[in-house]
Chain A
């Protein structure tokens, strides 16, 4: 029997309730009003300063450890429990305040360094993530290592006190804006695929590192290709042990999937995402395009398709809420199996939503730019194209289904 993954939610204790009220008051007093309801977030580093009000909000939060509330105080956090950190997050969400800081540093590599880094690595990197000094990027995928991540070929050869790195990475999000990279490299070419990998941390301004933007079918270019020519990385940049990179990468991907699969992650945003976005649902977006009879959509086929989509989005929100409450009660983070379920469901659902919206817009959904199309239409069309990445990136849907079949259902490999 496969047990469900949920448990009841704990009530606030009196101390938690007091903390919640304090947090609420502080957020109301300190979040710049111009930021409320907006999605302007500071991402750290120096190459993209962002808006002044977002920087101010970031600085105020950092001063009390609230960019990373659950991290220890010595690393720039506030040393709070996961429960109290969640209360802060809930209160910020409720107030319409954006996150004070976002990016791979606080969501992915920071938590991993906190889990498995050496004391020196923690001291070197964590405070600079928390204080916004360093922005991180992820060097995982390569031209010949996409869904089959273990096929990574970028080589790192130990030479005295340094690793010499040669090769290239593809699909590195904002590689051009990042200051440091966590990079999956092959340190032992003789070992089997997964056994010979390691994770290296190095600065993007190291000699021999270069980046090039990758233009997507949607016309945007958040992704870059990164090239490494005899890059010298100090040996203490090794995270998690020599040839232990596969396990480190898996842990990192779990952090990534859990941050992407919930409202506020890239997956939960976009036109028609309802409460996870600007509050507008697919049926609201569709209304200007469809014939109605007394307010009811006349095309019954479309009406049913939209209803099924919206019902499933609600079901997913209910499932997410249950899982969050369970994890919070047990003071744990989402398991690998849980994140696979949510990654698969949320990306497939978003992809289907954009397909329905494109169909609803008809000819108006075919514009690239210029006259004849509204800004919202052009944005939606680009987002439809961009949404194709969701079921591919971060472990494609088929990889998630493999994980669920093997690890939850126990089907033979």
Chain B
């Protein structure tokens, strides 16, 4: 990452906030709460007071117009302490969808509330055990005054806590995005207790009435916005993943300097040194890709180029985090197997993050498609 002065200040304050208010001890405490109630609302209030949820939007919608590079700096620092924040679901994904697909009235209604930290969003998209970028089975049928929504969504990020779900439904014309309040009739939220204590929920929609003013944009017209929001979400998640990989790597290298076996520091053994050096080179590549991907959002580069970079970031940083998190456990040795050691949390976060919004195979294949093979 190459940061200008403003971005560096932002990085410092994000680093300070997450290390003091959301260290891994905080993640442990949230893990002990019931699934569905694991959003760190106190942390989110502080983030909102600092204006972070408002970073990407134009000032018309009470945004700060600071750009996605700034948001990426925060996501990366959040990744370092594995902080559980609504940033991915509410801003990168949900906020982007409202911003891209919403009518002006919808934007004025929802984005300022997001910016204040008063409204949590969730994208209800997935229907299977693997990521699919478009809905297939969830239907939104026209009825008097709006739509009738039916379907089952899986592993909705922040689905247990979000005030408003953005449900992606398939219809003959394309993708319809429906805004559904958590307490709407016919909505059943079933929180999921996952290895990474992030808020996840399966959500059933049975005969849910969606009034016309809660169709985001136009019925059948949400496909492009969904694709764009997914790419931004992938880049935002990749930023978080890079932070997690950097932290796990730094902790491992430090451990190898203090841990002694065979009468020597472990870090003096060449088999370990070479693996660490290789990982460092992969982290360098990851930083360069993330940097360009974030810049591409702010520069408004064409959708196909943004898509390539999003897939490069999600696949490349995903593979990097995969390797670093596994090596971190291996190099910490037996202690890594204990719940008391923090390093296992990085492994669990890595496993979640790799699957979310498409794994490395999905994005490698997508890159090939974009390149015409």
Question: Which B residues touch A304, using CB under 8 A?
Answer: 361, 364-365, 368
Contact A409 B315 (CB under 8 A): no
The reply on B276 being an interface residue by CB < 8 A is yes
Whether B276 pairs with A318 at a CB distance below 8 angstroms is: no
CB of B303 to closest CB in A, whole Å: 18
| B318-373 with Cβ < 8 A to chain A | 319, 361, 364-365, 367-369, 371-373
Nearest-CB residue, chain A, relative to B371: A283
- Chain A residues with Cβ below 8 Å from B316 are 311-312, 315
Given contacts A318-B291, A322-B291, contact A411 B273 (CB under 8 A): yes
B267, A412: Cβ atoms under 8 Å?
A: yes
Query: What is the interface of chain B mostly: helix, strand, loop, or mixed?
Result: helix
In whole angstroms, how far apart are the Cα atoms of A345 and B286 in the complex? 13
Interface-central residue, B246, B264, B287, by most chain A CB under 10 Å? B287
Q: How far is the CA of A409 from the CA of B123 in the complex (A)?
A: 40
Out of B2, B256, B277, B361, name the residue touching A404 (CB < 8 Å).
B277
Decide yes or no whether B130 CB sits under 8 A from chain A: no
**Is there contact, CB below 8 Å, between A315 and B371?**
no
Contact A345 B1 (CB under 8 A): no
Docked CA distance A308–B289 (Å): 14
Assess whether A7 is in contact with B373, with CB atoms less than 8 Å apart. no
Q: Does B274 contact A (CB under 8 A)?
A: yes
Interface centre among B270, B274, B284 (most CB of A within 10 A): B284
- Determine whether the beta carbon of B4 is less than 8 Å from that of A8: yes
Alpha-carbon distance between A281 and B371 when the two chains are bound, in angstroms: 10
**Interface residue count on the B side (C-beta < 8 Å):** 45
Which residues of the other chain, A, contact B152 by a CB distance below 8 angstroms? none
CB-based contact B276/A411 at 8 Å: yes
A281 contact set on B, CB distance < 8 A: 371
Report if A412-B288 is in contact (Cβ < 8 Å); known contacts: A306-B373, A322-B2.
no
Residues of A within 8 A of B204 (CB): none
Does A287 make an interface contact (CB < 8 A)? yes
> Would you call B33 an interface residue if the criterion is a C-beta within 8 Å of the partner chain's C-beta atoms?
no
Binds B, one of A61-69, A257-265, A293-301: A293-301
Q: Is the interface of A mostly helix, strand, loop or mixed?
A: helix
Chain B residues contacting A413 (CB-CB under 8 Å) are 268
Q: Is there a chain A Cβ closer than 8 Å to B9's Cβ?
A: no
Q: Which residues of A contact B270 (CB under 8 A)?
A: 402
Q: In the complex, how many angstroms separate the beta carbon of A113 from the nearest chain B beta carbon? A: 32
Q: How far does the alpha carbon of A404 sit from the alpha carbon of B280 in the complex, in Å?
A: 8
Q: A7 contacts which chain B residues (CB < 8 A)?
A: 2
A18 at interface, CB cutoff 8 A = no
Expressed in whole angstroms, the Cα–Cα distance for A137 and B256 within the complex equals 42
Q: Which residues of A contact B128 (CB under 8 A)?
A: none
Contact of A4 among B250, B287, B368, B372 (CB under 8 A): B287
Report Cα–Cα, A400/B365, bound state, in Å.
32
Chain B proximity mask over A396-407: 1 for CB below 8 Å, otherwise 0: 001011101110
Chain A minimum-CB-distance residue to B317: A315
Q: B293: nearest residue on chain A (CB-CB)? A: A318
Given contacts A283-B371, A297-B373, A412-B268, contact A315 B277 (CB under 8 A): no
B281 touching A308 by the CB < 8 A rule? no
Please name the residue on chain A nearest to B272 by beta carbon.
A411
Q: Report the separation of the CA atoms of residues A404 and B276 in the bound assembly, to the nearest whole angstrom.
A: 9
Q: Give the chain A neighbours of B2 by CB distance below 8 A.
A: 4, 6-8, 322, 326
* Contact between chains at A6 and B373 (CB < 8 Å): no
Query: Whole-angstrom distance between the alpha carbons of A306 and B256 in the complex?
Result: 35
Kindly state the separation between the CA atoms of A402 and B273 in the bound complex, as whole angstroms.
Answer: 7
Q: Do A319 and B288 touch (CB < 8 A)? A: yes
Return the chain A residue nearest B370 by Cβ.
A307
Contact A344 B281 (CB under 8 A): yes
Min distance, Cβ A7 to any Cβ of chain B, angstroms: 5
User: Is the C-beta of B193 less than 8 angstroms from some C-beta in chain A?
Assistant: no
- A142 CB within 8 Å of chain B: no
Task: Report the minimal beta-carbon distance from B262 to chain A, rounded to whole angstroms.
Answer: 13
Evaluate contact between B373 and A295: CB separation under 8 angstroms.
Answer: yes
Judge whether B288 and A315 touch: CB under 8 Å: yes
Contact with A along B244-270 (1 / 0, CB 8 A): 001001100100110000001101101
Which A residue sits closest to B367, measured CB to CB?
A307
Name, among B1, B273, B289, the residue most crowded by chain A CB atoms within 10 Å (CB to CB).
B273
A119 on the B face (CB < 8 A):
no
Q: Indicate if B292 sits at the interface (CB-CB under 8 A).
A: yes
- A307 near B280 (CB under 8 angstroms)? no
Contact A411 B285, beta carbon cutoff 8 Å: no
Q: Which residues of B contact A2 (CB under 8 A)?
A: 246, 249-250, 280, 283
Beta-carbon contact of A311 and B365 below 8 Å = no
Residues of A within 8 Å of B286, CB to CB, are: 315
B257-A311 in contact (CB<8A): no
A308 touches B315 (CB 8 A): yes
Task: Give the contacting residue for B280; candidates A322, A409, A412; CB below 8 A.
Answer: A409
Q: Which residues of A sit under 8 angstroms from B319, Cβ to Cβ?
A: 308
List residues of chain B with CB within 8 A of the CB of A326: 2
Most chain B CB neighbours (cut-off 10 Å) among A7, A404, A408, A410:
A404
Q: Is A310 an interface residue (CB 8 A)?
A: yes
A-side contacts of B365, CB under 8 Å: 300, 303-304, 307
Chain B residues with Cβ under 8 A from A318's Cβ? 285, 288-289, 291-292
Question: 16 A-B residue contacts at CB 8 Å?
Answer: A6-B2, A296-B368, A296-B369, A304-B368, A308-B364, A311-B364, A318-B285, A319-B287, A322-B2, A345-B284, A401-B274, A406-B273, A409-B273, A410-B257, A411-B267, A413-B268
What 7 A-B pairs come out closest when comparing CB atoms? A405-B273, A319-B288, A404-B277, A401-B277, A411-B267, A307-B368, A318-B288
Interface residues, chain B, CB within 8 Å of chain A? 1-2, 4, 246, 249-250, 253, 256-257, 264-265, 267-268, 270, 272-274, 276-278, 280-281, 283-289, 291-292, 311-312, 315-316, 319, 361, 364-365, 367-369, 371-373
A-B contacts besides A300-B365, A307-B368, A412-B264, 15 pairs, CB < 8 Å: A4-B2, A6-B291, A295-B373, A303-B368, A303-B373, A306-B373, A311-B312, A315-B289, A321-B288, A322-B2, A326-B2, A345-B281, A401-B277, A405-B277, A408-B277
